[in-house]
Amino acid sequence: MIYELRIYYIHPGKMQEIQARFQNRTLQIFANHGMKVTEFWEDVNEENNRLYYVMEHSDMETRNQSFEKFHNDPEWLELKRVTERNGPLFEKIDIVFLKTVAFFKK
């Protein structure tokens, strides 16, 4: 299992818009492609304008295939077009891939 930490640097004033997009549609589109989000956070310091989430993937090949399908999904493309008609919601995304360590168990 691999985990993908995604860190979004949100443009000022766009946090509510991007959260609504995730809540109302994006998470369902992810699920339609077998993509699983396990955690979701926003920065405690609101001035940082960062949103974080973790996705769980069986392996990197599956992850890449799922994202390719997601990025080409007509529902996603239309949602992105509509929600970004006044400009992008975020500046950039940092992605970190993680795996569990043998000595730590929940």
pLDDT in tens, 34-58: 999 999 999 999 899 999 999 999 9
0.85 exceeded by pTM: yes
CA 60 – CA 3 distance, rounded (Å): 10
Q: Which CATH architecture has domain 2-98?
A: 2-Layer Sandwich (3.30)
Tokens at 62, concatenated: 């599956």
User: Per-residue pLDDT tens for 77-100?
Assistant: 999 999 999 999 999 999 999 999
Sequence spans of domains, the chain: 2-98
Collapsed DSSP state (helix, strand, coil) of residue 22: helix
Q: Which of 40, 9, 22, 14 is nearest to 76 (CA)?
A: 22
Place of tokens 């400009």: 87
d(CA 97, CA 77): 25
